[in-house]
Amino acid sequence: MARKGEQFRGLTVAIVTPFVNGKVDEAGLKKLVDFQISQGTDGLCPVGTTGESPTLSTEEHEQVIRVVCEHARGRIKVMAGTGSNSTHEAIKLTAFAKECGADGAMMVAPYYNKPMGEGFYQHFKAITEAVDLPIILYNIPGRTAKNMEPDVIARIAELPTVVAIKEATGSMDQASQVLALTNLTVLSGDDSLTLPLLSMGGSGIVSVVGNIVPADMKALINAFSAGNLKLAQELHFKLFTLCRDLLGVATNPIPIKAAMRLLGRDTGELRLPLTPLSPAEEARLRTTLVNYGLLK
């Protein structure tokens, strides 16, 4: 079965939002875009969870989308994070992303207000009717407090411009159901589950660890696509410890920003209520980066 959103297959990196003295660092953001392009990454996802979207003002949210789209234009695909628990705000952000030239919009399921299945459907229906832009659903109940069940996703998938889903439930059963029930392109939302999801018919990953090792994650996807399962497994286990420690030592994006600071690629600055790693946590992270070969 041909899947609707195969233009988004491969490696998309959910990029961090760099800050300097509390403000969005536009120069730093452009460097992140250039780095990802140099590494062969297929797409960028600005202002998702990893981009600290919950603490950006609407103006900053739009600023990050604009800078990334303008700097990336024609060189790499952009799926802008435009989700909200307010349907009105989600429409506004998605319309802005389209104006900026984004290739698609990644839209998290409405969070905190916990809509019913009908609410999820009407939310995405209203967005697709208001803005003609490919939509990538983002289901992450650990953040939103409400799972979009497979039957609800299947109904939403019938909307013509809903083409893909970032599957971040951590449940292979749910991922299997979504693959079976829909023709959506399914992208892993968990770095360590990329290979299992590919084996079931998934098409790629929206990656956090790709902020620092995009070439390795891209190599895993390429190895699997080429039928080289042995190499794909080797890369999976190589990446697994890095993924586990990055996402296990503290809440994302605290560890990835700390790693980028240690590697000289970001200030590491966070916005409250996110706080830096403790010295012990940072020492653990440093050991992980040394063991991986990223630090001496």
Q: Which structural domain, as residue segments, surrounds residue 82?
A: 8-214
Residue 171 lies in a domain: yes
Q: Which of 92, 98, 138, 257 is catalytic?
A: 138
What share of the chain has pLDDT > 70, as a percent? 100
Q: Which of 4, 146, 166, 218 is catalytic?
A: 166
Residue 243 lies in a domain: no
Region 2-13: mean pLDDT is: 96
Region 225-237: mean pLDDT is: 98
Residue 3 lies in a domain: no
CB-CB contact of 212 with 239 (8 Å): no
SS3 sequence, the chain?
Answer: CCCCCHHHCEEEEECCCCEECCEECHHHHHHHHHHHHHCCCCEEECCCCCCCHHHCCHHHHHHHHHHHHHHHCCCCEEEEECCCCCHHHHHHHHHHHHHHCCCEEEEECCCCCCCCHHHHHHHHHHHHHHCCCCEEEEECHHHHCCCCCHHHHHHHCCCCCEEEEEECCCCHHHHHHHHHHCCCEEEECCHHHHHHHHHHCCCEEEECHHHCCHHHHHHHHHHHHCCCHHHHHHHHHHHHHHHHHHHHCCCCCHHHHHHHHHCCCCCCCCCCCCCCCCHHHHHHHHHHHHHHCCCC
Q: Which residue has 């990538």 as its token pair?
A: 136
Among 93, 20, 8, residue whose Cα is nearest residue 53: 93
CA angle 113, 118, 106 (to 5 degrees): 65
Residue 228 lies in a domain: no
Chain-centre distance of CA 195, in angstroms? 16
CB-CB contact of 36 with 13 (8 Å): yes
Quote the number of domains for the chain: 1
* pLDDT tens string 186-221: 999 999 999 999 999 999 999 999 999 999 999 999
User: What's residue 245's pLDDT?
Assistant: 82
Torsion-angle region of 129 (φ positive above 0: left; ψ -120 to 50: alpha; else: beta) = alpha
Return the biggest CA–CA distance within the chain.
Answer: 53
pTM to 2 decimal places: 0.97
138 is catalytic: yes
* pLDDT tens string 20-43: 999 999 999 999 999 999 999 999
230 is catalytic: no
- Residue 69 clears pLDDT 80, i.e. is over it: yes
User: What's residue 249's pLDDT?
Assistant: 92
* pLDDT tens string 89-115: 999 999 999 999 999 999 999 999 999
2 pLDDT tier (thresholds 50, 70, 90): confident
Phi, psi of 273 (to 5 degrees): -85, 10
What share of the chain has pLDDT > 90, as a percent? 96
Residue 2 lies in a domain: no
User: In this structure, what CATH number is given to the domain that contains residue 106?
Assistant: 3.20.20.70
CB-CB contact of 39 with 222 (8 Å): no
Tell me what the pLDDT averaged over the chain comes to.
97
The answer to whether the bond into 253 is cis (omega within 30° of 0) is yes
User: What's residue 172's pLDDT?
Assistant: 97
* pLDDT tens string 121-176: 999 999 999 999 999 999 999 999 999 999 999 999 999 999 999 999 999 999 99
Q: Rounded CA gap, 198 and 181, in Å?
A: 17
Residue 286 lies in a domain: no
Residue 265 lies in a domain: no
Return the amino acid letter for 171: S
User: What's residue 247's pLDDT?
Assistant: 83
Q: Rounded CA gap, 36 and 212, in Å?
A: 9
Residue 248 lies in a domain: no
Region 57-69: mean pLDDT is: 98
Q: Rounded CA gap, 191 and 214, in Å?
A: 11
CA angle 60, 19, 70 (to 5 degrees): 55
